[in-house]
Structure 1
């Protein structure tokens, strides 16, 4: 099995809001073309620690990336490093913390915002450092990378849902409408991605609360969605852990790895 993979991490997206507001993705579910799982994120329910968790399979308390202010390279094998070392092409349109974890730290906007370097773990990157950077622009960045460099693994990581949560809270029209917006942007690309053989996962790092924050153990902070689309997924009920997403992606990419994975998620 050898497939290309697109991993979309919609920052700050709560499970229930994804379930209730993302009509296109739910339409695919109704037509048996996608499956939605509920995951519980690891702790602390914060962004940088959970980027590391999703991309390496290592819990924050074990990775040492335990808050957003730790600026250093990851000390663990990631999807990017494994793919690059085994001859795959990697790309990311993502927040600059991803660049700091897997390419170079600290981030230098002039040097790193547009990255094209075959020696780096993320060989082709379009990174941003504004939380309000439009999701629409981020998806365009990602599609440019996909069409231009034909990556085997592409990470797409927009920030507007999280930004609206921090400004207006979980129970706000702004937060819900930002999730609806991401759903619309995905609808512009998903059919083409699937037609070109990509396996697609859409998930989140953490949720949001009504204190305009996250980081703790409340279900609204920890419960996140995982939508999967593609013919290599089983589309049957199973218990998926956030620490197993890295292994699932590595398996889809046919990489040699020792990461934990949810076998029931795949055919």
Structure 2
């Protein structure tokens, strides 16, 4: 497989759409210069973390997959992107919050033995996991880059938690939340040029947004509207106004990786996708 099939998927937990539009200057630089595309995604509900991790990685709605709240701690019963990449002979890796391990590798998570997982028989073949919401994003991106360099994955999933953590602490209408979004954008400005030079495709999105009470889970635009940025030669650059259902993300990932989606994923209907 040629290197331009490889994909890095960055999921910024709790990043609402309008805050990303106002504060992520580097990502919008890529959009303005014709190097990236930008979309608005409407999340599934409930707009909670664990259910939407499952939505993003399996392309199935909560009523089907059964992950309907943050309190359901068990392995997924669905076929995730991790399962599909492994089945198709690709290598995968993730630097993520421990709930991702509980969905696809082992539940419940044991911090003393499950932080680093390298097992080619598991759905997630190479993983570094954290379990505290304030685990620094700087460390997380270093973990991810370690996995990229040492395991050369075709699919690398990165799950950042600090935006969500500061949203809960300070609310979405706060300098703390907005400044954390700027900090993530600055980190991306530091590391993405190297990854783009290595010919990776890039997806950046969120699970859910954040409201002005410092919470999420409901049906408002603040809860459900999240950004999607894509850098790929398979997507025409530009700003797209059509709202994208979150269930389209998993089949899009499959298309970018050039693998067949699972039978239960939606048919891909994505503006800007080249033939």
1:117 aligns with 2:110: no
Which deviates more, 247-256 or 126-135? 247-256
Following superposition, the deviation at residue 262 of structure 1 comes to: 3.1
Q: Counterpart of 1:86? A: 88
Find the aligned partners of 1:194 and 1:233 in 2 and give their Cα distance: 15
Q: Counterpart of 1:254? A: 258
Normalised to the residue count of structure 2, the TM-score between the two structures is 0.94
Q: Counterpart of 2:249? A: 245
1:146 aligns with 2:153: no
Question: Is residue 9–residue 157 contact of structure 2 (8 Å, CA) maintained in 1?
Answer: yes
Find the aligned partners of 1:63 and 1:173 in 2 and give their Cα distance: 37
The aligned runs of 1:100-139 (5 Å cut-off) are 100-139=102-141
Find the aligned partners of 2:99 and 2:252 in 1 and give their Cα distance: 23
The answer for unaligned runs of 5 or more in structure 1 is none
Find the aligned partners of 1:188 and 1:227 in 2 and give their Cα distance: 17
1:190 aligns with 2:192: yes
Following superposition, the deviation at residue 234 of structure 1 comes to: 2.4
Helix, strand or coil: the match of 2:172?
coil
Q: Counterpart of 2:64? A: 62
Question: Is residue 31–residue 237 contact of structure 2 (8 Å, CA) maintained in 1?
Answer: no
Following superposition, the deviation at residue 36 of structure 1 comes to: 1.1
Following superposition, the deviation at residue 264 of structure 1 comes to: 3.1
Following superposition, the deviation at residue 84 of structure 1 comes to: 0.6
Find the aligned partners of 2:86 and 2:111 in 1 and give their Cα distance: 23
Q: Counterpart of 2:42? A: 40
Match of 1:21 among 15, 20, 23: 23
Helix, strand or coil: the match of 1:157?
strand
Question: Is residue 194–residue 230 contact of structure 1 (8 Å, CA) maintained in 2?
Answer: no
- Sort the Cα spacing of 1:166 and 1:239 in 2 relative to 1 into closer, same or farther, 3 A: closer
The aligned runs of 1:157-236 (5 Å cut-off) are 157-235=159-237
Following superposition, the deviation at residue 239 of structure 1 comes to: 4.2
1:146-183 CA distance string (max 9 Å, x none)? 01100000001110000000001010000001100110
Helix, strand or coil: the match of 2:160?
coil
Aligned-residue Cα RMSD (Å) equals: 1.3
Helix, strand or coil: the match of 1:140?
helix
Question: Is residue 240–residue 262 contact of structure 1 (8 Å, CA) maintained in 2?
Answer: no
Helix, strand or coil: the match of 2:194?
helix
Find the aligned partners of 1:222 and 1:212 in 2 and give their Cα distance: 14
Following superposition, the deviation at residue 86 of structure 1 comes to: 1.2
Helix, strand or coil: the match of 1:240?
strand
Question: Is residue 17–residue 227 contact of structure 2 (8 Å, CA) maintained in 1?
Answer: yes
Find the aligned partners of 1:189 and 1:60 in 2 and give their Cα distance: 34
Question: Is residue 199–residue 232 contact of structure 1 (8 Å, CA) maintained in 2?
Answer: no
Following superposition, the deviation at residue 265 of structure 1 comes to: 4.0
- Count of residues in Structure 1 that have an aligned counterpart in Structure 2: 267
